Amino acid sequence: MNCPSCGAPLKLSAGNTSLRCDYCKLVVAVGSDDTGVQFLGEAPEMTCPTCAGGLWHGVLAAVEVDACKTDRGLLVPMSWFEALVEKMRALHTEREIPGPVDEAELERKVMCPRCHQKMETHYYYGGGHAVMSTCEQCELHWLDGGMLMRIVRMPHQDEE
C-alpha cells in the first residue's frame, strides 16, 4: 500500500495497528473486517488455495498474516501460529466444543500459495475438531475461513 500523500510505500508501525510513511511521516489507520483482519494491501504473488482469488497482506491481533477477502481463509507463519491462537483466545473468551469435522476434509488437495506444492492437510492437534493444512518447506499454515475461531473457542486443557 502506498502513501496517499506522497506515494511512498507504507510500512507497519510499531504494534502492527497502523501504517506509517517513512518519508512524509503520515500515519494511516487501517480498519478491520468482521473477523478482525486489517487488510493492508494485495499480495499479488499469492492466490487463495481454495477460491483462487488474490490474497491480501494483513494483521490479525498484531500478527502479520495473509488473508483471503472472499472466503476468509488465513495463511499464518508457523512461528506465529500459537501466539495468534493465544492472542485470539484472550480476545474471545467464550468456549464451546464443536462437533467433529468431516473426515473428507483430510483428503483435500491444498496447494501452498508461496511454493505451489501440495500442503499436508491434518487435524489441529487440539482435539480433532479443526482441519488445517501445512507447508513445512515454507513454514506456513493455511486455515479455511472460520477454522481459526473453531480452534480459539475450543476449551483448552488447562480450562477443563
Residues 116-149 have pLDDT tens digits of 999 999 998 766 688 999 999 999 999 999 999 9
- Give the model's pLDDT for residue 86: 92
Q: Where are the domains positioned within the chain?
A: 1-30, 37-159
- Give the model's pLDDT for residue 16: 62
- Give the model's pLDDT for residue 32: 61
C-beta of residue 39 within 8 angstroms of C-beta of residue 56: yes
Q: Taking residues 50-63, report their average pLDDT.
A: 92
pTM of the model: 0.80
| DSSP β-ladder status, 140-143 and 131-135 | antiparallel
| DSSP β-ladder status, 38-47 and 74-77 | unpaired
- Give the model's pLDDT for residue 126: 65
| Residue 104 pLDDT exceeds 60 | yes
Helix H or strand E segment including 38:
strand 38-47
- Comparing C-alpha atoms, which of 38, 39, 19 is closest to residue 29? 19
What does the alpha-carbon distance between residue 22 and residue 25 come to, in Å, rounded to a whole number? 5
